Amino acid sequence: MELKLIIVASLLAFVAAESSDVLELTDADFDSKLATIDTALVMFYAPWCGHCKRLKPEFARASSDLKDNDPPVILVQVDCTEAGKDTCSRFGVTGYPTVKIFKGGELSSDYNGPREYNGIVKFMKSQVGPASKELKNLADTETFLAKNEVGVVYFGEGSLKAVFLKAADMMREKIRFAHVSDEETLKKYDAKDAIILFRPKVMSNKFEPDFVKYEGSEDKTEIKKFINENYHGLVGLRTTDTSGDFIAPLVIAYFNVDYVKNPKGTNYWRNRVLKVAQNYKSDFTFAVANNNDFAHEVEEFGLSYVSGEKPVVCAWDAQGQKFVMKDEFSLESFESFLKQLKAGELEPFVKSEPIPEIQGNVIVAVGKNFDEVVTNSGRDALVEFYAPWCGHCKKLTPIYDELGDAMAGEDVDIIKMDATANDVPPAFNVRGFPTLYWKPKSGKPVPYEGGRELDDFIKYIAQHATDELKGYTRSGKSTKDEL
């Protein structure tokens, strides 16, 4: 009986998750229905695709919000494996999900925004209507500013307005803009021909002003710079959507950040971070972040679990080195950590497997010995960054082992590193697996983009080695064959 109830509950939950205002279109009605919609966000998907399955519930939640927007945005999905094959082919869909923006039935652009509910809603709201909302009176202005998001408002009808509107159009995907010329409002905010950035009221604090006035020239690029520099304030709220805004040297306090359910508790700790951070605002960028949203990132600092009750502080310096505050959070311990971090007195944290006691012809690099065996070895090296689960890496393994044997006795090292278990130095940009780099003994690493058969590797190394190989000519031919 209990099992039946569980199954029924699961089915009901599934149906609820799938029920939405998303419009399902096919080859038969795609053009005719889309022509009646001013703005549509279309997801081309395959039912078996895992990424599509993850996006669909986010898409469904966003659809309900966006259909009620003014003006509305309609979310559409097309099954590329069945009734929508021709439509998907016509719009060049080769991977799933592919998401595109249509206006008046015509393709407007590819969708490059976030793929979670809040991000989709915010991004698509920015795509419709004017870039800056007209506020007709004081009540409109106060309603606009009451929302817990940054808002940038132009006050007046002066020469700065035209440039402001151009800047708004440039940044409409990220920022809420508005303009007002009502005399009562101008008087209330003591602003005329002025741009003011207002921070969310929920994040108000005594360490920085609730709003910042633009003092620059009539230049849209300068206005954009002003907004970017002041958007997050002294200690910004870092989310998965805004993580790219925060640039190293960066100090982050991870805890139970929740401005929806627990703004008071969130600000209790954020205010303590602010109190210390104000003394180091010219040295570091500061942020608070939810420990659960960034659990994987926290693990990269060697912290397997963060309760979130008190802040755990981690940092990156300008060179990308990582640091962890080991003491329990307090004003005193945080101050001491920042002081030592600024002075360069802290030892960086390096994620690393144990250094192998025995090495073979393919040398195993880990975080703790990478500089020794690669960066400062004084030898040429071919380095493979791999993931244990990667099929292409597994296919390469026997070839790479043969290459290690072939290069034994040469002034060249063949090296591999598990990039999922060890920190990869910033000079090696690893975005997929396997990634290979050639590191000359006295030069910067360069991506290896040659073939992946044994002969391809040998020819490349023979040609690029600092000193000619003993067993191969510069063209990669074995010297034994020439005897």
Catalytically annotated residues: 49, 52, 390, 393
Buried b (16+ CB within 10 A) or exposed e, 428-454: bebeebbbbbbbebeeebeebeeeeeb
Contact 417, 367 (CB under 8 A): no
- Tell which residue, 445, 455, 323, 456, has the closest CA to residue 383: 445
Other beta carbons less than 10 A from residue 108's beta carbon: 14
Q: Cite the beta strand spans of 156-199 per DSSP E.
A: 176-180, 194-198
- Sequence-separated (6 or more) residues with CB below 8 Å from residue 266: 256, 257, 258, 259, 288
Query: Helix %, strand %, coil % for the chain, to 5?
Result: 35, 20, 45
- Tell which residue, 326, 328, 308, has the closest CA to residue 255: 308
DSSP annotation of 14 reads H
End-to-end CA distance of the chain: 82
Q: Strand 312-316: give its sheet, edge to edge.
A: 235-238, 285-290, 250-255, 312-316, 322-324
Question: How many whole angstroms separate alpha carbon 417 and alpha carbon 367?
Answer: 9
